[in-house]
Amino acid sequence: MRTSLREMYICASMIVILCASMISAQNIETREFHSLSPIKSDSAVIHFGASVVIKTSPMKSIAYVGAPADGNKNGSVYKCSFSGKSYGNTSCSKDISFDNNAAIGMSIGADSSFSNLYICGNQHTTSCPTTPLQKRMVGACYKKPMTSSTATMFKTPCVPGCPKIILIADIMFVLDDSSSVDDTAFRSALNWIIQVVSYFSSYIDSGDLRVGVYGFSNDDHRSGIRIG
């Protein structure tokens, strides 16, 4: 039986209504907005806008904007003041800079009273010159009062000290050992593992590196693999 245009229209309308009921969205007013940019800096190069926290009021709003790549990836925070009732362009002045090459400004937060900023970066390192891994990336966070030009570093929750053992790493290779993999392909994978491990032979001999192999399969005829 031929479907009428009316039936097709009703069906299409029901599909649109069903899809619309599954969408969750917010309306954004695109005619009134503020463009923020750093003074005398390329916003793309310094990653201006990586993080933002805004204190709003009817007459004046203040935005603190992170630029973690500013100052050779030391990180900075810019302060932007603008009217809460207008739109346009605002140039932001640098509020605070950091000097530990930690990309500070990757994230920014504020307390409920908006009296303190909490500024973090993920690339702060601890130096361990006597170990194979001479730098440990532990990150860092700072607390900065709104009325102050200085910030205080928080004590990191990560272990700040250097490792007491000189083990570099554990490396585990996982091989598909199921019956769908033929002997040629399986041997090729083993040879690749042997080639990779050979590059680290001195670390393995000294006990600084441990290597293991695990085979997964849908049967049990080759469940374990050893490399000497």
| Cβ–Cβ < 8 Å for 68, 121 | yes
- CA distances to 43, 140, 162, 166, 170 from 125, rounded to whole Å, are 25, 9, 11, 18, 22
The confidence score (pLDDT) of residue 29 equals 53
Could you give the CA distance from residue 198 to residue 203 in angstroms, rounded to a whole number? 10
Could you give the CA distance from residue 211 to residue 173 in angstroms, rounded to a whole number? 8
The confidence score (pLDDT) of residue 21 equals 47
pTM of the predicted structure, to 2 decimals: 0.57
HSE at residue 205, side-chain half, CA atoms within 13 A, is 5
The confidence score (pLDDT) of residue 8 equals 47
- The strand ranges marked E within the chain are 34-38, 51-55, 60-67, 76-83, 88-97, 107-110, 116-121, 125-127, 135-137, 140-145, 152-153, 169-176, 209-216
Pairing of strands 34-38, 88-97: parallel
The confidence score (pLDDT) of residue 227 equals 46
The confidence score (pLDDT) of residue 95 equals 92
Question: Which residues make Cβ contacts (< 8 Å) with residue 119, sequence separation at least 6?
Answer: 66, 75, 77, 96, 104, 105, 107, 108, 141, 142, 144, 151
| Cβ–Cβ < 8 Å for 39, 94 | yes
| Cβ–Cβ < 8 Å for 125, 136 | yes
Counting every residue written for the chain, the total comes to 228
What residue type is 225 in one-letter code? I
Average pLDDT along the chain, 228 residues, taken 10 residues at a time: 48 45 49 71 79 84 90 89 74 87 89 92 80 74 91 77 68 84 87 87 78 77 49
CB atoms within 10 A of CB 117: 23
The confidence score (pLDDT) of residue 228 equals 44
Closest CA relative to residue 43, chosen from 67, 63, 62, 64: 67
